[in-house]
């Protein structure tokens, strides 16, 4: 009995193999497109149902404890939104809020991950810093608005600080828990193979903790939006939160709804970016490709 020494090739070489592979790629691509279309349709169904319910309640001036006769109709909000899309101030407000979110969230990500890793890996650092973390964590970020006004020379810096403060704690706490959840056998195996402390930290501990860290980042993004909008309403001079509050002061109720919807869409977009980044970074996970 002879065994062939020729390697088995998985690359199609004959015309029939190439044709089969092409058909599989077309079928696979078609299946992925169909799945995306189904997902998009399922996403639109609850949104369309909500808009329909909104229209029925406001168009018929329903008053049943809640006074929907005071709420603008979808058509009025659409007209106001169309008007705002033609103004420069609307885009300036969006850019201002996005800048504050990106700076505050970015600083919170870097500081939260580094401090969380230090606390999760060192008992000494945990004994020194963890009590401070637990003391400041229950304080609502929006309660720091008066202090931020006094502390920082400009309102812009104060709002960025409030955004950073709000996003920092979810990132730090999720990083600490992710570090504690790592299997010790990974570190022991790395020690056995001769890895140093820094190699274990950045090539084993950090990659292994990334799924938990990105869970905290997703939460932090939502909290950051809540606090930046609240800060803009209280002390801001521009931003989408300031636009919403100013519309309320001018009795422009369709403008208020336009501001609310804009905040929701911006929050959705930034949360999606965090999720997509997490999927790419954690593509080694079994479910990351979904």
Summarised one tens digit per residue, pLDDT across range 76-93 is 999 999 999 999 999 999
pLDDT at 227 over 80: yes
Identify the residue with better confidence: 169 or 61. Answer: 169
Higher pLDDT, 233 or 12: 233
Residue 285: pLDDT above 80?
A: no
Model's pTM, two decimal places?
0.80
- Separation CA 62–CA 55 (nearest Å): 11
197, pLDDT greater than 80 = no
224-236 in b/e form (b: 16+ CB < 10 A) is bbbbbbbbbbbbb
Residue-wise over 181-208: b if at least 16 C-beta within 10 A, else e?
Answer: ebeeeebeebeeeeeeeeebbeebbbeb
| Range 253-261 average pLDDT | 95
pLDDT surpasses 90 at 108: yes
Categorize the per-residue pLDDT at 209 as very low, low, confident or very high, splitting at 50, 70 and 90: confident
pLDDT > 90: what percent of the chain? 51
Can you give the pLDDT at residue 20? 60
pLDDT value, residue 10: 46
Q: What is the mean predicted confidence (pLDDT) over 2-20?
A: 50
Burial of 251 (0-12, 13-18, 19+ CB in 10 A): exposed
Report, as an integer, the average pLDDT of 64-81.
90
d(CA 253, CA 256): 5
Do residues 159 and 148 lie in contact, with contact meaning Cβ atoms separated by under 8 Å? yes
- Please tell me the predicted confidence (pLDDT) of residue 182: 82
| Torsion sign over Cα 162, 168, 169, 171 | positive
231 close to 241: Cβ distance less than 8 angstroms: yes
**Least-confidence region, from 148-157, 195-204, 221-230:** 195-204
What pLDDT score was predicted for residue 26? 59
| pLDDT recorded at residue 28 | 54
pLDDT for 185: 81
Residue-averaged pLDDT of the chain? 85
């Amino acid at each position: 009995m002879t065994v062939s020494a020729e390697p088995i090739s998985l690359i199609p070489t004959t015309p029939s193999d190439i044709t089969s592979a092409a058909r599989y790629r077309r079928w696979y691509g078609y299946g992925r497109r169909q799945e995306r279309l189904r997902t998009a349709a399922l996403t639109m169904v609850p949104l369309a149902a909500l808009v329909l319910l909104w229209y029925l309640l406001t168009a018929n001036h329903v008053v049943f404890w809640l006074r929907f006769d005071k709420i603008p109709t979808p058509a009025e909000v659409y007209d106001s939104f169309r008007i705002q899309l033609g103004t420069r101030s609307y885009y300036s407000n969006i850019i201002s809020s996005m800048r504050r979110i990106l700076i505050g969230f970015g600083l919170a990500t870097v500081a939260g991950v580094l401090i969380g890793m230090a606390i999760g890996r060192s008992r000494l650092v945990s004994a020194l810093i963890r009590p401070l973390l637990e003391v400041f964590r229950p304080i609502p970020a929006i309660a720091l608005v008066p202090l931020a006004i006094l502390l920082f020379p400009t309102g812009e810096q104060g709002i960025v600080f409030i955004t950073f403060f709000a996003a920092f704690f979810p990132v730090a706490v999720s990083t600490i828990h992710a570090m504690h959840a790592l299997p010790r056998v990974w570190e022991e195996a790395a020690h056995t193979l001769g890895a140093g402390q820094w190699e274990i930290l950045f090539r084993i501990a950090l990659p292994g903790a990334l799924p938990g860290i990105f869970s905290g980042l997703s939460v932090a993004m939502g909290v950051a939006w809540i606090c930046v909008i609240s800060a803009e309403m209280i002390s801001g001079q521009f931003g989408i939160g300031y636009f919403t509050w100013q519309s309320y002061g001018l009795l422009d109720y369709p403008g208020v709804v336009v501001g609310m919807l804009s905040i929701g869409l911006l929050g959705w977009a930034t949360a999606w970016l965090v999720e997509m980044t997490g999927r790419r970074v954690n593509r080694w996970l079994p479910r990351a490709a979904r």
